[in-house]
Amino acid sequence: MTQSTTARVGRFHQGRLSEGRPQALDAWRVTTDDADVAARVAGLLGGEPQPNDGGGGGLAHEVLTSRDSVRVIVDGPDAVAAHMVLWSSKVIVHDCDGSRFLAPEEKKGQPCGCPPLLEDKRLAARDGRGPMPSIDLTFRIAAAPVLGKFHFQTSSWQLAAQLSDLTDALERVDGPAVCDLTMELVLLTTKTGRSVCYRKPVVAVLGSPDTVAPEPPSSAEPTPAPASSAPRRKARRPHEPATRNVPELACSVSVDTALLHRAAQVLGTSDHQETVVAALSAVAAGQQQTTELAQLRDHVGRIAAIAEQALHGGDSSRT
C-alpha cells in the first residue's frame, strides 16, 4: 500500500499531553495549522479551537471534539499506508512490509525475517525483538470534503489485523469510499476476573458517496450494513452536548520523559501521546475515577516489567 503525497491539512489523534501528563481520550482530537480548518472542524464535530499544547507534530491548533466516530471519505486502498518499524536511538533499524525490507537502503527488497503470523509478530515486538505496526490512513471528512485531507497514524495491532479486510472492502467500492472512523470501546474480563476496557481504532467501509449519507442518521433507524466485517459503533447524535469536560473523561498519569522516550524507541511510536496510547491501552472509560486509577496502577506495573525486559534484552539484540 502506498501513501498519497498530497499535502494534508490536519491529523486525528486518540491522545494528547496536558501539562506534561499524557491522556488517553474517549473522543477524537484534531490538530491543524489552519485556524479556519480548526473552526470548521469544531463546528462539525463539537469542541472549541484552542492552541495546541497537547503535542502532535507541532501543529498550531487543536480541537477536542465530542465525537468518538466520524464519517470520512477514503480514496481507495492507496490511502492506507502500512508497514512495520523498529527504532533504535532515534534511527529506524528495521522497516518492512511484513515480508521484505523497505529500509535501510542496503537491505531493501531482502527478506526481513519477520514471522508470518500477526500474533508472532506481536510477541516479537513485545519482547523488543521485532517491529511494530505503523499505519497511516488519509481521508476527508464526509460532511465537508472541501476542507482537505486529514490523516490518522497508529500502531494499533487491532487495526493491523483488520487491514486485509479493509483494503478488500475499499477495492470493492472501486473509488472513493464512505467509512466510519471510530474509537470503539472494548470491554473484556481477564482470566483473573478483572474488568478491562480500552478504545481501539476501527474503520468500517459503508459504500460509495452516491449511496451513503455524509452523516449518520439522527433517528434510531438502523444504518446500512458496512462493506467490511469490522464492528462499528454508532456516532453520537447531533443533539448531544458539543463539548466535554476532558479531564473527567480522560485518565492522566505522570511519566518520566526519559523513560517515555525509551519506550517510544521500543514501541516504534513517533510521539509521546501515541506512545502512551500504545502502552496504556487499557484505560477505563465512563467508570468512577477511583476504579480507573486502581486499574491504571495495575497496568503500569505490568507495562514497567515488560518494558524493563524489552529494554534490557532488546538493546543488545538490535543492530
pLDDT at 286: 40
Residue 136 lies in a domain: yes
Q: 104 lies in which domain range?
A: 1-213+223-319
Residue 218 lies in a domain: no
Strands (E) in 195-278, as ranges, are 195-207, 251-252
pLDDT at 295: 56
Query: pTM for the full model?
Result: 0.68
Residue 298 lies in a domain: yes
Residue 317 lies in a domain: yes
pLDDT at 197: 81
Report how far residue 242's alpha carbon sits from residue 203's, in angstroms, rounded to the nearest whole number: 23
Residue 271 lies in a domain: yes
Q: What SS3 state is found at 3?
A: coil
Helix, strand, coil content of the chain in percent (nearest 5): 30, 30, 40
pLDDT at 58: 77
pLDDT at 302: 62
Q: Domains in the chain: how many in total?
A: 1
Q: Among candidates 13, 24, 70, 22, which has minimal Cα distance to 198? A: 24
Residue 268 lies in a domain: yes
pLDDT at 267: 44
Q: Could you tell me the maximum CA-CA distance found in the chain, to the nearest angstrom? A: 57
CB 54 within 8 A of CB 29: yes
Report how far residue 88's alpha carbon sits from residue 168's, in angstroms, rounded to the nearest whole number: 34
Q: Going residue by residue through the chain, which has 319 residues, state the pLDDT in tens, using 9 for 90 and above.
A: 444 446 899 999 999 887 777 888 999 999 999 999 999 999 999 999 999 987 766 789 999 999 999 999 999 999 999 999 998 877 888 999 989 999 888 999 999 999 999 999 999 998 888 999 999 999 999 999 999 999 999 999 999 999 999 999 999 999 999 999 999 998 888 888 888 888 899 999 999 999 999 998 865 444 454 444 344 433 333 333 333 333 333 444 444 455 555 555 444 444 444 544 444 443 333 444 445 555 555 655 566 556 555 555 544 333 3
Residue 84 lies in a domain: yes
Q: Residues near 180 by Cβ (< 8 Å), separated by ≥ 6?
A: 69, 70, 71, 72, 202, 203, 204, 206, 216, 226, 232, 235
Residue 290 lies in a domain: yes
